[in-house]
Amino acid sequence: MTDATTTGATAREEKLASANSRRARIMGGVLIALALLVLFTLDVAPGESATFRLTTPRDAVQIGDLVVPGGPFNMIAAALLAFLGVRQFLRGGARWTNISLGIGLAILVMAFLVWATAGKSFSLTGMLQATMVRAVPIALGGLAGVLSERVAVVNIAIEGMLLAGAFTGALVGSLLGGWVGMFAAIAVGGCFGLLLAALVVTYRMDQIIAGVVINLFVLGVTSYVSSQVFAEYRHLNNAPTFRSFKIPILGDIPVIGPMLFNQNLFVYGALILVAVSTYYLFHTKNGLRARAVGEHPRAADTLGIDVYKTRYFHVTLAGMVAGFGGAWFTLGSVGRFDENMTNGRGYIGLAAMIFGRWHPVGALSAALVFGFADSIQQKLALLNTPIPSEFLSMAPYIATIIVVAGLIGRSKPPAANGTPYTKE
């Protein structure tokens, strides 16, 4: 009997180990393929070098341009990728798989940039700054997702909440000024969060249907008002925007200074919210309670945590975060609302959440990756590369599918995610 169990356990362990090593093998193969890709398709004409501008002439601290000789750099990149790949393929340590892959992708991106800028010059600082700006709504959307999915409420409605925030920001901002507009956007986002909570917690509607419906409803209302009212009364859709302001000293740091410390309110807000919510979720009593509700509501209930109230509170909070993120579209950038201007950013935020493994910092990092893909796509048009911009803009979505499919380590949602809770 004991013999049988031990054999069973060993067999299971062996199976697990073989699955891990197979994954490592696949990863090794992928890395070797990337090395070949860099070697053969990203080949730079001999003698050409890429110039990255690190400062603009107006900056306080000046540092010289970074000039990278294209050919040698990509040779080295290919060699590094091949080394990582072969190592992964032969040794197959599961512990190193993700790190190798991360390093490999970073090398690939660098090689790509060098190849695209070969013989030209290109402002690295400007691109990083644009990356941060574009990451803001995605990061806030992702954070909203984290907050509600940590209490096991699937939030497809982020898209609608962002759109509602953008709309409210434009409307109220035009009438009463930017600050009031921003707070109104947060409040309206919170209302939709509350609505979602009511539909799924109290009326036990299917969570995905509730989200889809909120998206349809917000899209309908905002499009209706913008074509029925804004078209006629243009002054209602002309909000002031928040200018970027530089934080003294920190903003003068080359390269990362402009990216992190010379931005508008929304960028600072997003960074602060990510920090605060990380602290809240993982280092406070209430955060622990919230996560308990997401993992095992029955146990949480037994311990005296009010599951319904916790879900209501966090989903409303998520709505407020998404409302703030929505205001970025109008008050943080152009000052006017257009029909469906969020254009799927909420769904990308959801992807960022999964990519970031249901962690606020993870969601922010993933949002930065998506923002990078977004901003590099704009630059590529200027650099005149043969890669169609459509394929580059697809890359984040394909990456998300790969992550969801668990090909790069499994991203595990809270255990009770998506299931309604009925108190006994």
Report whether 115 contacts 74 (CB < 8 A): yes
For residue 383, with 0-12 CB atoms within 10 Å meaning exposed, 13-18 middle and 19 or more buried, which class applies? middle
Type and span of the H or E element at 263? strand 262-263
- Residue selected from 37, 219, 253, 288 as contacting other proteins according to rule CB under 8 A: 219
At closest approach, how far in Å is the CB of 388 from other proteins?
5
At closest approach, how far in Å is the CB of 410 from other proteins?
9
Which are the contacts of 44, defined by CB distance < 8 A and separation ≥ 6?
A: 50, 70, 71, 73, 74, 114, 115, 118
Binding letters toward other proteins, positions 118-157, x by CB under 8 A: ------------------------------------x-x-
At closest approach, how far in Å is the CB of 220 from other proteins?
3
Cβ proximity to other proteins, 78 vs 363, nearer residue? 363
Beta bridge partners of 49: 69
Which are the contacts of 154, defined by CB distance < 8 A and separation ≥ 6?
A: 148, 207, 208, 211, 417, 418
| Site membership for other proteins, residue 227 (CB under 8 A) | yes
Range 316-345, binding other proteins (CB under 8 A): 339, 344
At closest approach, how far in Å is the CB of 306 from other proteins?
20
Distance between CA atoms of residues 16 and 226, nearest Å: 56
- Residue selected from 19, 216, 247, 275 as contacting other proteins according to rule CB under 8 A: 216
Cβ proximity to other proteins, 126 vs 413, nearer residue? 413
> Any idea what the Cα angle at residue 129 is, between residues 334 and 166, rounded to 5°?
30
Cβ proximity to other proteins, 299 vs 401, nearer residue? 401
At closest approach, how far in Å is the CB of 193 from other proteins?
16
At closest approach, how far in Å is the CB of 62 from other proteins?
40
Range 351-410, binding other proteins (CB under 8 A): 351, 354, 388, 390-391, 393-394, 397-398, 400-401, 404-407
- Residue selected from 229, 247, 250, 256 as contacting other proteins according to rule CB under 8 A: 229
* Binding residues for other proteins (CB under 8 A): 154, 156, 199, 203-206, 208-210, 212-213, 216-217, 219-221, 223-225, 227-229, 339, 344, 347-348, 350-351, 354, 388, 390-391, 393-394, 397-398, 400-401, 404-407
